[in-house]
Amino acid sequence: MKLGHGGTYDGPGFISGQGYSATEHLANGAGPLIVGACVGTALFAVVVAAATYVCYRKKAKTALQSPGSYHLQHSLKKGPGYKDGKLTGPGGLMFRKTPAVRSPTGGGSGPILKTSPSPTGSKSPPSINTSPTQGGRTVLSGQQPHPPVTKPVVQQHKPTPAESPEAKIERETMLDEKPQRLGELHFRLRYCASKQALFVTINKCCGLPPAKDPAAGSSDPYVKLQLLPDKQHKVKTRVVRKTTNPVYDEDFTFYGVTANQAVTGTLHFVVLSFDRYSRDDVIGEVLCPVAELIDGDTTLHDQERAFVKEIVPRHFKIKSAGRGELLVSLCHQPAANRLTVVILKARNLPKVDDSGLCDPYVKMYLLYNGQRIAKKKTHVKKRTVNPVFNESFVFDVPYNEGLHNLSIELLMLDWDRVTKNEVIGRLELGAKVESGAARQHWSDVCTSPRRQIAEWHKLKE
C-alpha cells in the first residue's frame, strides 16, 4: 500500500520507505502535551483538596468559638459525657455557653465599663474555684449547678452639687451641738529667761474626729499656734495626710518674750483639717496659759514640762458670752430705685480667743424673694470687740418693686488669715422676718422714704 511522500504501509505500527514507526511519531508529537495535562490535573486536585480541608478547619474552629452554636455540640466526639446531643460533666452537670452580652446600640463592639481596682487584686472569690478554659468553655471543679448569670449592678455616686464661693466662705466651722470628744493635744513647753525665748514642741494629736465629709473617714490635720495677747506671730505644723492620730514632733521658738509677758501670756492652739478646695475646717482649739510653767517659788526656770490638753470646740465662748449688737441705718429712695445701708458700729462682740479681741467685719446681701441678688462687705477692724465702721453701701432695687419682696441679710464675721472666717452673728431685716424689732425697722423705712433710720439690733446665731 502506497502512501504520500513515497512510503508504503506494511502493517500495524510500521510505515515502509521512510523509517518511522507510529510510536516514535506519537512520542515526538502529542506526547508532551498529554503528559503535561495529566500532571496539571493532579496538581489541581491536590490544591482543591488542600483548600477544602483548610476551609473545613476554619469553619469548625469558628463553630467552636461562637457562643450557643449548633455546631459546637456536633463537632465534639461522642463520649461518656455526651448524651442526647448535649455535653454533660461529672454527676450529670450540664455545661452551657453563656450568651454574649451585646451593646444596646447595636454597634459592633460592646460597651466599655471602667471599674475601680479590686481590693483583693486578682484573687478569685473563695466560693468559686475555676480552672483555665478548655475548648472555649470553663471547667468547674465543684459539683454544684451553675449559678444563674445576672447582670452586674454598678453603683454610681452622684456628684455633690458645687458649693458657691459665698457659701464656702460663710459656712460655719461649728461642730454638732451634741457633746463629743475632739481628741487630745500633746505638747511640751520650756522658757529660757536668759534668752527671753519660749520653746514649744508640738508632739502629736490623739483621737481626732474624721473630716466633715462622711466618705473620707479620716482627716488631714495640722496645728496652728500663736501667743496671746499679742496675736502677732502665727506658726503652724505640717499637714499629716489621712489620719486621726497625727504625729508632728515639731519645735517652735518665740523670741523676745520677757518673764512678765510669759507669765501673762497664753498659747492658743487651733487644730484644723486641710481642705484643698475650700477653707480648712476647724476641729477645735486648746488654750494653755504659760504661767502653768511656774513652780512653787513663782519663778520661771529653764525647764521643760509636758502637757496633755483636751481639744474643745472653738465656738464655746461665743455661746456663753452672747453675740453682741449692730447699729444699722437704712434709707429707701423710690425715685432712684435705691436702698442705702449704713453700717455704723457694733458693741459687745464675743471674745473669740483668750486675748479678748477679734478682727470683725460685716458682709451683707440683698435678697429678692429669698434669693441673693447683690452683696457688699465692710473693711476688717483689727483687734477690737467694739468696732466702728461708718461705711455706706447703695443697692439697686428692682424697678417699681418697692421693699415688700426685699430683705437685707447681715453677717458679722471674725477675719482669720489662715482658717475660715468664723461667723459671730447674723441679722436679717425685712417685711417677712420673724424678729419684731427687725420687721418694725423695715416697716419704718418703707413708710418714710428718703429718710435715714438707724436702730440697734442684737446679733443671733
Predicted local distance difference test score (pLDDT) of residue 149: 45
* CB burial string 343-376: b at 16+ within 10 A, e below: beebeebbebbbbebbbbbbbbbbbeeeeeeeeb
Of 68 and 55, the one with more pLDDT? 55
Looking at residue 117, the DSSP 8-state letter turns out to be P
Question: Please, which pLDDT band fits residue 60 given cuts at 50, 70 and 90?
Answer: confident
Higher pLDDT, 234 or 146: 234
- Of 236, 235, 237, 173, which Cα lies nearest the Cα of 209? 173
How far apart CA 205 and CA 246 sit, in angstroms, is 6
pLDDT-derived band at 90 (thresholds 50, 70, 90) equals: very low
Distance CA 154, CA 371 (A): 38
Q: Which of 3-7, 170-174, 196-200, 275-279 is the most confident on average?
A: 196-200
Residue 114 — pLDDT band, cuts 50, 70, 90?
very low
What nine digits make up the cell of 148? 444563674
Amino acid occupying residue 333: Q
Residue 344 pLDDT class (50, 70, 90 cuts)? very high
Helix (H) or strand (E) holding 188: strand 184-192
DSSP 323-366: --EEEEEEEEETTTTEEEEEEEEEES----STTS---EEEEEEE
Q: Is the predicted pLDDT of residue 337 greater than 80, yes or no?
A: yes
Q: Which pLDDT score, from 0 to 100, does residue 152 have? A: 42
Under a CB-based contact definition with an 8 Å cutoff, are residues 327 and 455 in contact? yes
Rounded Cα–Cα distance for residues 325 and 425 (Å): 9
Grid cell, residue 297, equals 517659788
| Lowest mean pLDDT across 193-197, 348-352, 372-376 | 348-352
pLDDT at 170 over 70: no
Q: How does pLDDT run across 423-448, given as a tens digit for each residue?
A: 889 999 998 887 788 999 999 999 99
Q: Please give the pLDDT value at position 362.
A: 97
For the beta carbon of residue 434, count every other beta carbon within 10 angstroms. 8
Which pLDDT score is estimated for 299?
56
Give the three-state DSSP class for 411: strand
CA angle 204, 319, 377 (to 5 degrees): 95
Dump pLDDT digits (tens) for 6-46.
444 454 444 444 444 555 554 555 677 888 888 889 889 99
- 3-state SS, residue 217: coil
- Mean predicted confidence (pLDDT) in 201-224: 84
Residue 252 has pLDDT above 50, yes or no: yes
Distance (Å, rounded) from C-alpha 264 to C-alpha 286? 17
Q: What is the pLDDT of residue 72?
A: 40
* Domains of the chain and CATH, by start: 1-90 (no CATH), 168-314 (2.60.40.150), 319-458 (2.60.40.150)
CA atoms lying within 13 Å on the CB side of residue 221: 31
With bands split at pLDDT 50, 70 and 90, how would you rate the model's confidence at 188?
A: very high
Task: Tell the burial category of 273 from Cβ atoms under 10 Å away from its Cβ (0-12, 13-18, 19+).
Answer: buried
Out of 174-188, 215-229, 355-369, which region has the weakest mean confidence (pLDDT)? Answer: 174-188
The pLDDT value given to residue 334? 92
Percent of the chain with pLDDT over 90: 31
Using CA atoms, how far residue 450 sits from 335, 431, 442, 454, in Å, is 9, 18, 13, 13
pLDDT digits (tens, 9 = 90+) for 398-423: 888 889 899 999 999 988 776 668 88
**Pairwise pLDDT comparison (243 vs 281), residue with the higher score:** 243
Query: How far is it, in rounded angstroms, from Cα 254 to Cα 198?
Result: 5
- By CB atoms closer than 10 A (0-12, 13-18, 19+), residue 426 is middle
CB atoms within 10 A of CB 254: 23
Q: What is the mean pLDDT of residues 76-103?
A: 46
Report pLDDT digits (tens) over 66-84.
544 444 444 444 444 444 5
pLDDT at 247: 96
